[in-house]
Amino acid sequence: MSQAEVTQTAVVNFAPEANSVELQEIPIPDFGADEVLLEVSAVGVCGSDLHQWTADHSWPVNYPVVLGHEFAGTVHKTGSLIKNWSEGDRVVSETAAVIDLDNPMSREGRYNLDPTRKGFGYGVNGAMTRFVRVPARCLHRVPEPLPLERAALTEPCCVAFNAVVLNGEIQPGDRVVVFGPGPIGLLCAAMARLQGAEVAVVGLERDKGRLEIAERFYGCQPIVDGLDEWAMETDGLGVNGVVDAAGVSITLKKSLDIVRPGGWISKVGWGPQPLGFSLDPLVQKNIRLQGSFSHNWPIWERVIRLLTTGQLNIEPIIGGTWSLNEWHTAFETMHSGEIVKAVLTP
């Protein structure tokens, strides 16, 4: 067997220093009895991939590791214990590559909160390559009407669903502010609009292109300046809810300022900075501050239906598709803010 038949090209994060990402030849992985070998059709570039590339992330990484946790493809081979999957099946994979099935969180179905959980792209090898080993429990079927290139972005949509639908509290007619017009922020805004909220998306001057997407495609109010006025313009008490998808300390502080008494804040953005301000408004205003992390099986099934039916439109956030060899251009283009989301095809 030639080297080309046993190895594959992969985008590898090989060290904790900035710019420690490169194309490498790695072995095509073996897989276990309860796993499949998935042939990747498309993989989305996540902000966390960029953070590992620039080395400003706040989570542990198992170096060296193949990046990529937003992916869809076809089943190439199946393990000996696999009964419900066959070669050629169109699938999308969850991100919880390693979990403890006996952990109380896993037994409750909330394996995304298992403290021992390890995900693709930082804990184990991810999908920025041709073949990736995947536990069969992670797989979901992709309906024929949904292209695999779009199904690959199910994961960030699930993050948004969890942050807004399950960890928020929206009634039709509510006013909601979303901080951060990145992929997660825009998808959170879209989810809030699906629930009948009036939504403002807040960003910086350099985010105007992304804010235009929020306005044009999702019917949101784009805000660079004038947030306080928008938040208080109904009865002067503030908005019903805030989604912090930016992850910097100042956005959490501002969230406490603009949310109305008895309102809620769903924090989905990561950020290593210390707070540096008082949380007294959280108490005084009786605000619910809710963290939101990852997703689980029922969220994935519901989001796949939203994507398949077109109720959730992700086309506006996709800025382009690049080959695996062009990963650096894709990363740079997305990191610059020129586009919202990049997709790689092996």
Statement to judge: residues 143 and 229 lie in one domain: no
Statement to judge: residues 25 and 92 lie in one domain: yes
For residue 184, give the nearest of 114, 264, 268 by alpha carbon. 268
For residue 64, whether the previous peptide bond is cis, meaning omega lies within 30 degrees of 0, is yes
Statement to judge: residues 207 and 90 lie in one domain: no
Statement to judge: residues 178 and 152 lie in one domain: no
Statement to judge: residues 98 and 151 lie in one domain: yes
pLDDT tens profile 130-176: 999 999 999 999 999 999 999 999 999 999 999 999 999 999 999 99
Q: Note the helical H segments in the chain.
A: 3-6, 47-54, 104-107, 148-151, 154-161, 183-194, 208-218, 227-232, 249-258, 280-284, 297-309, 327-335
Per-residue pLDDT of the chain (346 residues; tens, 9 = 90+): 444 579 999 999 999 999 999 999 999 999 999 999 999 999 999 999 999 999 998 899 999 999 999 999 999 999 999 999 999 999 999 999 999 999 999 999 999 999 999 999 999 999 999 999 999 999 999 999 999 999 999 999 999 999 999 999 999 999 999 999 999 999 999 999 999 999 999 999 999 999 999 999 999 999 999 999 999 999 999 999 999 999 899 999 999 999 999 999 999 998 878 888 999 999 999 999 999 999 999 999 999 999 999 999 999 999 999 999 999 999 999 999 999 999 999 9
Q: Would you say residue 151 lies in a domain?
A: yes
**Residue 172 belongs to domain with CATH number:** 3.40.50.720
* Distance set, CA 322 to CA 207, 301, 319, 342, 344 (Å): 23, 28, 10, 8, 5
Q: Would you say residue 322 lies in a domain?
A: yes
Statement to judge: residues 285 and 145 lie in one domain: no
pTM above 0.85, yes or no: yes
Q: What is the pLDDT of residue 275?
A: 84
Statement to judge: residues 178 and 287 lie in one domain: yes
Statement to judge: residues 205 and 217 lie in one domain: yes
Instruction: Check: CB of residue 91 under 8 Å from CB of residue 85.
Output: yes
Q: What is the rounded distance in angstroms from the CA atom of residue 113 to the CA atom of residue 299? A: 14
* Domain finish residue from 260, 276, 291: 291
Q: Would you say residue 310 lies in a domain?
A: yes
Statement to judge: residues 19 and 55 lie in one domain: yes
Q: Would you say residue 162 lies in a domain?
A: no
Which residues are paired to 9 by β-bridges?
A: 25
Statement to judge: residues 142 and 51 lie in one domain: yes
Q: Would you say residue 1 lies in a domain?
A: no
Count of helices and strands (H, E) across the chain: 12, 18
Which residues are paired to 290 by β-bridges?
A: 266
Q: Would you say residue 109 lies in a domain?
A: yes
Q: Would you say residue 64 lies in a domain?
A: yes
Q: What is the rounded distance in angstroms from the CA atom of residue 79 to the CA atom of residue 75? A: 11
18, burial (CB in 10 Å: exposed 0-12, middle 13-18, buried 19+): exposed
* Domain finish residue from 246, 275, 291: 291
**Residue 127 belongs to domain with CATH number:** 3.90.180.10
CA torsion sign for 56, 57, 62, 67 is negative
| Domains of the chain: total | 2
Residue 200 domain boundaries = 168-291
Statement to judge: residues 262 and 174 lie in one domain: yes
Q: Would you say residue 142 lies in a domain?
A: yes
Statement to judge: residues 140 and 267 lie in one domain: no
